[in-house]
Amino acid sequence: MTTNINANPLEPGNDELERYALEECIKRQRVDHHTSVLIIPAARCELAKRFAQLEARVILGDDPARKQEIEGRILAAGFSDEVRFTPCTLDHLPDELPGEPFDIIMVRRGLCGLRYEHARQVVRQLLLKLRIGGKLYLSVHGLHSELSDGYAGHDQRSEERYAPLAPAMAKKYGIAGPVCLYSERNLFMLLLEAGGSVLRTMTTTYGNVKGVAVRV
């Protein structure tokens, strides 16, 4: 497939963190090097398609039960050469993944289902799966978002904060089980304690928190 790597990746609907990651992909792409990307979880594969349009080589990690669905989406989009599925989740990361070391790793919201200490260990593992200078893009549900309305863990320290959402919020967002919500400072410290060099953190209009760290 011939793709114009100068194509504008800033399509409507891309959030700020995704735009940063797509711009980084363009910067790293060379004639002799395809940018390597890990996205976990896979979601609906839309971001993987955008990276594939830039000729990146993408690994989609998700629950093994989603294999057929995700591979069907990849095939239907025409990116079976650029995008591959691998069975893995954030709480069950294998020692080695196809495509390592990665230039870019994208994690969207999946960490909130883990306790803070476990999340820190996972982020450390992810950083080690990057090449030196590679970047981790991370998005988590915010402590100051709508999700915190009635959240039992709101006033706890991040290391202890792991509680279910209020029933109304859990039903509205389809989030079952306990979660750890993050402030921007919490995310900054998570990335720092995991060994990353933090490039930026941000809080969205809706109160969700995002960050970028580089492996040094």
| Domain contains 209 | yes
Has residue 10 got a pLDDT over 60?
Answer: no
Percent of the chain with pLDDT over 70: 94
Q: CA 194, CA 130: separation in Å to the nearest integer? A: 13
Q: CA 91, CA 34: separation in Å to the nearest integer? A: 28
What is the residue-averaged pLDDT of the chain?
Answer: 92
| Domain contains 7 | no
For residue 45, CA distances in Å to 3, 71, 72, 199, 216 come to 18, 10, 10, 26, 29
Structure-model confidence comparison of residues 181 and 8, the more confident one: 181
Residues 128 and 195 in one domain: yes
Residues 45 and 69 in one domain: yes
Nearest to 196 by CA among 131, 146, 124: 124
Q: pLDDT tens-digit profile of 44-91?
A: 899 999 999 999 999 999 999 999 999 999 999 999 999 999 999 999
Q: pLDDT tens-digit profile of 80-126?
A: 999 999 999 999 999 999 999 999 999 988 899 999 999 999 999 99
Nearest to 118 by CA among 97, 140, 91, 94: 91
| Domain contains 12 | no
Has residue 12 got a pLDDT over 50?
Answer: no
**Location of structure tokens 């919201």:** 109
Tell me the residue range of the domain where 61 lies: 19-108
Nearest to 102 by CA among 80, 70, 122, 125: 125
For residue 180, CA distances in Å to 62, 75, 80, 191 come to 20, 35, 35, 15
Residues 118 and 69 in one domain: no
**Location of structure tokens 């002799």:** 32
Residues 135 and 153 in one domain: yes
Residue at which a domain ends, from 108, 130, 149? 108
Q: CA 110, CA 7: separation in Å to the nearest integer? A: 29
Has residue 7 got a pLDDT over 90?
Answer: no
179 with 113: CB under 8 angstroms? yes
Q: Which domain CATH number covers 41?
A: 3.40.50.150
| Domain contains 13 | no
Residues 100 and 145 in one domain: no
Instruction: Give this prediction's pTM.
Output: 0.91
Residues 181 and 95 in one domain: no
Residue at which a domain ends, from 108, 137, 153? 108
| Domain contains 10 | no
Structural domains of the chain, count: 2
Q: CA 66, CA 42: separation in Å to the nearest integer? A: 9
Residue at which a domain ends, from 86, 108, 130? 108
| Domain contains 142 | yes
| Domain contains 5 | no
| Domain contains 71 | yes
Q: pLDDT tens-digit profile of 205-215?
A: 999 999 999 99
Residues 95 and 166 in one domain: no
Residues 154 and 84 in one domain: no
Return the pLDDT at 4: 43
Residues 210 and 166 in one domain: yes
Residues 41 and 56 in one domain: yes
Residues 102 and 120 in one domain: no
158 with 180: CB under 8 angstroms? yes
